[in-house]
């Protein structure tokens, strides 16, 4: 199949990478797993056994008129332990390499079908200026875009940092969440070739 390149001849690409059927269930599973893997999972609270304090019985069991109590670290006491204390958790989910690649291919194919994938010969600016990048995006009628290049262009990366709905990635850094988060995905010809090699 062929992808139209802005201001150049069409680019022949693999049908298996850019012409795949849309697999919503697979994409959902991979996106959820990706988001779960980003969770810190470091919350930690103390149970009554872990709270610092004396283990002495505050007052005798009977005869004081007060409610019976055996421990100042009881969860019903101020500064006591937490009844069901949260502990650090690993939220990551296993995703096979084949599934992950399949999801990326399915997303790329759907981007092509929806005319959201914009292929350009090159995408670079002369200086790390946000104004220059804004103008370049305006020339392509874009304002919400993920820009994928073969290699990290420092000028491009620095210029995009201050733009709300623009992100710059190299091929190695693409992920399913960022691919679906933007209105348009701008890819250079070299990046397309790298993506095909990576997903082959």
pLDDT at 7: 82
CA torsion sign for 107, 111, 116, 117 is: positive
pLDDT at 152: 84
Residues 102-116 pLDDT 10s: 999 999 999 999 999
DSSP readout, 82-142? -TT------------HHHHHHHHHHHHHHHHHTT-EEEES----SSS-HHHHHHHHHHTT-
The mean of the pLDDT values for the chain is 95
Owner of token pair 């733009």: 163
Query: Looking only at Cα atoms, what is the longest distance across the chain?
Result: 94
Rounded CA-CA distance 129/134 in Å is 9
Parse the chain into domains and list their residue ranges: 2-37+92-199, 44-87
pTM above 0.95, yes or no: no
SS3 content of the chain, % helix, strand, coil (to 5): 35, 10, 50
Residues of the chain with pLDDT under 50: none
Classify the phi-psi angles of 25: left when phi > 0, otherwise alpha if psi is within -120 to 50, otherwise beta.
Answer: alpha
pLDDT at 185: 97
Helix (H, G, I), strand (E, B) or coil at 152: coil
Owner of token pair 């929806």: 114
pLDDT at 65: 97
pLDDT at 167: 95
Burial 125-160 (b: 16+ CB within 10 A, else e): beebeeebbbebbeeeebeebbbbbbeebebbbbbb
pLDDT at 8: 85
Rounded CA-CA distance 131/164 in Å is 13
CA torsion sign for 79, 83, 89, 91 is: negative
Q: Which CATH class is domain 2-37+92-199?
A: alpha beta
């Amino acid at each position: 199949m062929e992808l139209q390149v802005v201001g150049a001849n069409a680019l022949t690409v693999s049908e298996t990478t850019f012409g795949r059927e849309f697999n919503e269930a697979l994409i959902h599973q991979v996106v959820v797993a990706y988001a779960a893997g980003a969770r810190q999972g470091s919350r930690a609270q103390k149970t009554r056994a872990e709270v610092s304090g004396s283990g002495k019985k505050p007052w005798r069991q009977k005869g004081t008129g007060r409610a019976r109590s055996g421990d100042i670290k009881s969860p019903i006491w101020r500064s006591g332990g937490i009844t069901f204390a949260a502990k650090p958790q690993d939220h990551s989910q296993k995703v096979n390499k084949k599934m992950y690649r399949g999801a990326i291919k399915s997303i790329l194919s759907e981007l092509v079908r929806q005319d959201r994938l914009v292929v350009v010969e090159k995408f670079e600016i002369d200086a790390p200026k946000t104004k220059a990048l804004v103008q370049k995006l305006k020339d392509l009628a874009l304002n919400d875009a993920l820009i994928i290049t073969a290699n990290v262009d420092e000028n491009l990366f620095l210029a995009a940092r201050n733009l709300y709905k623009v992100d710059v990635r190299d091929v190695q850094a693409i992920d399913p969440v960022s691919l679906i988060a933007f209105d348009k995905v701008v890819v250079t010809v070299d990046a397309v070739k790298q993506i095909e090699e990576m997903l082959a």
